[in-house]
Amino acid sequence: MENNQARIKVQRPWLAMMSMMIGAFVGMLSETSLNIALPQLMKSFQLNSGTIQWLVTGYMLVIGVILPFSSLLTKWFSTRQIVIIGLLDFIFGVIIAATAPNFIILLIGRMIQGLGTGLILPLMFTVAMLIFPPSKMGTAMGVCALVIMLAPAIGPTITGIILGKLTWNWIFWFFMPFLVVALICAIIGLPNTGKITRPKIDILSLLESVVGFASLVMGVSFASNMGWTAPTVLLMLAIAVIILILYVYRQLHLEQPIINLRVFKKLAFAQGAICVMLDFAIILSAMYLLPQYLQRGLLLPVALTGIVMLPGGIINALVSAFAGRLYDSVGAKIPAVLGFTIATIGLIMLIFSNPTSSIIYVIVTHIIIMIGCPLAMSPAQTHALNALKGAESADGSTILNTMQQIIGAVATALATSFLSWGQNTYQGTDKAAQFTNGVHYGLYFTLILAVIGLVVAFTLKSTRHVENKN
């Protein structure tokens, strides 16, 4: 059947995907692996939580800035060129971070890694949409989602094990073998799936994108230290709002936009995209707060913290793989509604934790959250991308991945602000209880995201592939 043919025929599609999946996995692992090391890094560099969080938000900032150019880059360079350059860049950033003598060099290394992730991540979804037929799309997107969801889940465990025996530098050296394997796979098994047309580049759009997204993330991040009423914060946020409005207006009116925002006119894409962004924000904000709570609220050693988070990571991987197949049979609405509902329950339970809570209780709450988030993620993403056709698929993939990183950076920064607010409002001298109160404030924010996601999930259509009729 014509409807069941891949847009581009590739002899070994999974081999073609391997370099991008490994690269994306390491990219997402790098994005979340430092969460558990933040308390140790704060002591090593004598920094507060508002400054040290830049190792997380700065990384996501670079990814968010480079991602909007993904579609344009695929028209100027081959898939092989982009992936190989991205992997080499990542390796360079890893070496800088692993040998960093101070915080500034470490941050530079992290941001260089972010550039590599920003090049590779969107290509994984774009190529998958091209080389797999519609009947296999749910499974393919489920595997891609598994790559994205598994890394944040097991990152803290791996980091905890490393920090239990070695210094934080070895977190980065751990990435190197995976990157070398990905580079070899790219060289021997990755064909070019794009069409190089070298369209005219709109410089103003590029500048608006960089300044707008950077100002947004920087403004929210600075608020963690300076407060939301600080003149610098207000100025950065004002610049972000104005520039991004101009950017959106320009993209909607250009004949050949940098990123095709017109895809939001398709309701199925808009609904799915909102669910994906909210789900990603829930994962990153919760997984930013949880390892710190385990160390500074429950006073667990860093190695045990990683072990405590392992069961949730395993469950995350299993559900991610299952959720992709679930879309192929029941569509997006049922798993998305169930996913956000389960995540909401887990977050409420975690909010009721305290400095004397049992480790088993925290493990259970983490598992519940790790059932809910991946259950909603893959079906919602497939729902969104299946609403698009042809070249729109690349634009849709770019938009989803860009907004995930921007929203993730903003959510992490907001979680840090609420964490500080909760600590400041605590009346007492117990440091563990004070930090736990801050974590609760951060989780209130995450819970609101989950409730909004649940409301949006109810608006999704129940049947699969219905979007393609548009």
Average pLDDT, rounded, for the chain: 84
8 and 151 belong to one structural domain: yes
Q: What distance in Å separates the CA atoms of residue 33 and residue 31, rounded to the nearest whole number?
A: 6
Judge contact between 305 and 156, C-beta under 8 A.
yes
pLDDT for 194: 64
Task: Kindly indicate the confidence band of residue 117, based on its pLDDT and cuts at 50, 70 and 90.
Answer: confident
pLDDT in tens, 306-328: 888 889 888 887 887 778 777 77
Judge contact between 273 and 4, C-beta under 8 A.
no
pLDDT for 73: 80
pLDDT for 259: 78
Residue 232 belongs to domain spanning: 200-255
pLDDT for 1: 41
pLDDT for 11: 67
Q: What distance in Å separates the CA atoms of residue 202 and residue 208, rounded to the nearest whole number?
A: 10
Nearest alpha-carbon partner for 168 in 229, 226, 108, 102? 102
- What is the identity of the amino acid at 374? P
274 and 344 belong to one structural domain: yes
- DSSP reduced 3-state for 460: coil
pLDDT for 346: 96
Domain boundary among 217, 235, 255: 255
pLDDT in tens, 336-390: 999 999 999 999 999 999 999 999 999 999 999 999 998 998 888 888 888 887 6
pLDDT of 14 strictly over 70: yes
pLDDT of 469 strictly over 60: no
> Which CATH number goes with the domain that contains 314?
1.20.1250.20
pLDDT for 464: 54
Share of the chain above pLDDT 70, in %: 93
In this structure, is the dihedral angle defined by the CA atoms of residues 445, 450, 456 and 458, taken in order, positive or negative? negative
331 and 455 belong to one structural domain: yes
228 and 369 belong to one structural domain: no
236 and 184 belong to one structural domain: no
219 and 360 belong to one structural domain: no
> Which one is predicted more confidently, 126 or 446?
446
pLDDT for 87: 92
pLDDT of 467 strictly over 70: no
218 and 242 belong to one structural domain: yes
328 and 376 belong to one structural domain: yes
205 and 348 belong to one structural domain: no
Residues 272-284, mean pLDDT to the nearest whole number: 91
Nearest alpha-carbon partner for 405 in 38, 120, 8? 120
pLDDT in tens, 179-198: 999 998 888 877 776 677 77
Which of 9-18, 127-136, 216-225 reaches the highest mean pLDDT?
216-225
193 and 211 belong to one structural domain: no
Number of domains in the chain: 2
The residues near 374 (Cβ < 8 Å, ≥ 6 apart) are 145, 146, 149, 316, 319, 320, 323, 339
**Residue with tokens 């548009």, as numbered in its chain:** 470
pLDDT in tens, 242-266: 999 999 999 888 887 877 888 888 8
Residues 424-453, mean pLDDT to the nearest whole number: 90
Judge contact between 294 and 424, C-beta under 8 A.
no
121 and 169 belong to one structural domain: yes
Q: What distance in Å separates the CA atoms of residue 35 and residue 41, rounded to the nearest whole number?
A: 10
13 and 77 belong to one structural domain: yes
pLDDT in tens, 2-12: 456 666 676 67
